Structure 1
Amino acid sequence: MRRTVVLTALVALALPVRAAQADDDYRPFRRGTILPSFSLGGSFSRNYGGSLLVGAGASYFVAGGFAVGLHLRNVTTFYSQYFKEQVGPDIFAKIPTNEFSLTPSLLWVIYRGERVAPYLSFGVGPVFLNKQRGVMGQWTIGPGVMFRAGGSLWLDLGIGLGMRFTKDRCQEAYNYLDPITDYACGFTWGFRAGLVFGLGGRRQASPPSQPSPPAQYTPPPASSYPAPAQPVPNASPPPTPAAPVEAPPEGPPQPTPPPTPVETPSPANPPAATPPPAATPTETSPVPPPGENLPVPPPA
């Protein structure tokens, strides 16, 4: 039996590897989701009576579909009158009628559907008995299915399988039932039902958006006009700066020459003869033909 418990624990610890691969941002029970739960169950036996199970807990998803949690459970047993008469009042006074368990658990949601989500849970923890019957351990495995009831509310239906350990401690707690201790310390199973609320960590279901393709750049059509001429830098050498004009050396002022005397005409110094004006042909003067001289009229 111990080998079975160890093997089950190893399988449960290997679940995060696959759960992390299924992590995403739009399916239920993604990373960061808190899953409070309320459980209600019971059992019935024709000869021994029945029991009522009430539980509550919470699980936190550390990866998509994989959560760790803590669950509290209280089981109250109602024994039949037939059983009381069979064991007698002295023995019945030692039989615990209430069991309280504190169970750390692992939860693996196998399929994270929007409407249906099958899962597998595993837990191990202490069980406290009333009437001073001591403390023992218990492991449980619970396959089940969650159905969406609306929004973040889920209906949880499953089967609980479990067993108490160690066998010596269990037999010591139930020694008043000898030789039928297998009833309390053997393998047990039962149906489970409850309500589950998924809080936070979940977004609306929508397919992942595809990245838009990069925009294609289309160059503008070439113009029929020739490209404008680029200015050509002037290759002529820069002009040589003109030499500064030197001021004339300062010296004494030059004497002004005397005016030229005007000579008065006299018999000894007659004025210069003025050449006679050239005869200008008029309209009435005859013009000699080419090669001939004009006749000079006689003096009057």
Structure 2
Amino acid sequence: MRNFYFNHDGNVDDLVSLLLLLQMPEVNLLGVGVTDADGYVEPASSASRKIIDRFGHPDRKPADVAKSNSRAKHQFPDAWRLSAFSFDDFPLLNEHGNQPQTPVAALPGHLDLIEKLQGSAEKVTLVMTGPLTDLARALEIEPTIVEKIDRLYWMGGALGSKGNVAAPGADDTMEWNAYWDAEAVKTVWDSALEIVMVGLDSTDQVPLTDELRLRWAKQRKYPALDLIGQGYSLVHSFEANSIYYLWDVLTTLCSEYPELVESKQVKTDVITTGLSEGRTYETANGREVTFVTSVDAAAFYDKIDELAQAAK
């Protein structure tokens, strides 16, 4: 059994990631932090608590949910963030009432992370599918937590592919989680943490397709797959040539099932100012990270089904 801490930013992909983490037999989830980024923190925290109520392992102590008070340098578009409200209202998560039993943590996200790490007798795997701000703040307050983290799995950045930020004053070379707070990425990059970077280069290999939506629709008899299908019905990419990908789910699954991906060691850095703020790039003078390069997409989609079918 491995101890995990999950920090996410509240959109559909994050909430599905939480649901799947709870089904992994060898994962002991110590805590969950929610950042006010790709989803609004209040409904995203509420939905997280309801997912733990409904799908948490009955023989394990339920993780509490910490609300982050970190704020954006560049905030996600409002239209993307609204899905958290709808997810929180799904009947499957509210059939026993809309007041979740899973508690809200006493401390804000970055301080809860410190507390959970320091309270663990074993090293903790840290999975982050949103901005790195809570971790950066935690490192600045208590640098010794590096010794308590086995490794960080982060969904963020891009090296060989185009970015996904189309915003005034940005040159479209960066990924959104890095753009949200590039200085936080730099703080984490300057630490001694072992980092596994799951960037757009690999997540672009696992798109959300019409065939995948239909695949889940045909499995509605499984409550978790019903919820997953409903969740992804909320997200559609209306920009020209834009596709929704399973960014966060890939990061979450490869943290426990590394056989789903291939990786290599790469030296990288991040730009923190100017038109390319948030861009991650290869450089001989950078810090080394484990960079996920490719995905066995068929095995990845099968693993989602396997975990979700096992949920009670």
Q: Smaller-chain TM-score range?
A: under 0.3
Structure 2 length-normalised TM:
0.18
Structure 1 length-normalised TM:
0.19
More helix by share: 2
Higher relative contact order, structure no. (Cα contacts within 8 Å, ≥ 6 residues apart): 2
More strand by share: 1
Which has more radius of gyration? 1
